[in-house]
Amino acid sequence: MDKWDKRFMNLARTIAEWSSCYQENRKVGAVVVRDKRILTTGYNGAPAGMKSCIEKAECLRKKMGIPSGTRQEICYAIHAEQNAIIQAAKMGVSIQKATLYCTHQPCAICAKMIVNSGIERVVYSEGYPDDFALLMFQETGVKLEKYEEQ
């Protein structure tokens, strides 16, 4: 990892603070970069026009007893990686051959979107219990790197 990885990972951590996730340990931030230039950002939160988990004062997943790493579709929030990819589409920004920096390892749903968006490298800090996502990255050749502080 180099100084640019550190800079962009720190930015992903800052963006994670904007999350409207009710659980402190699930605040996730993402930054999509190419040639040392920021293309898009994203954090996990409710879809536009919908009350966030913080506003609802509850985590639906916790309320329903859904274990981490499973049933990602049952959540009010859109994941940080998804929001970064959606932002690129809305703004007409190509993220082909980009790197995605994310505070947490992407889930399988995000992995599919990352692969099809053309992102070629993912750098993450915290693990996430989703082996299927790891398989998708391995099979498709998208580089997945765990960020280690130096």
Catalytic residue from among 24, 55, 58, 81: 81
What residues contact 31, with CB distance under 8 A and at least 6 apart? 8, 11, 12, 15, 38, 40, 41, 84, 100, 101, 102
What residues contact 129, with CB distance under 8 A and at least 6 apart? 68, 69
Nearest Cα neighbor of 11 from 123, 117, 121 is 123
Question: Does residue 81 have an active-site annotation?
Answer: yes
DSSP state of 22: S
Catalytic residue positions, numbered: 81
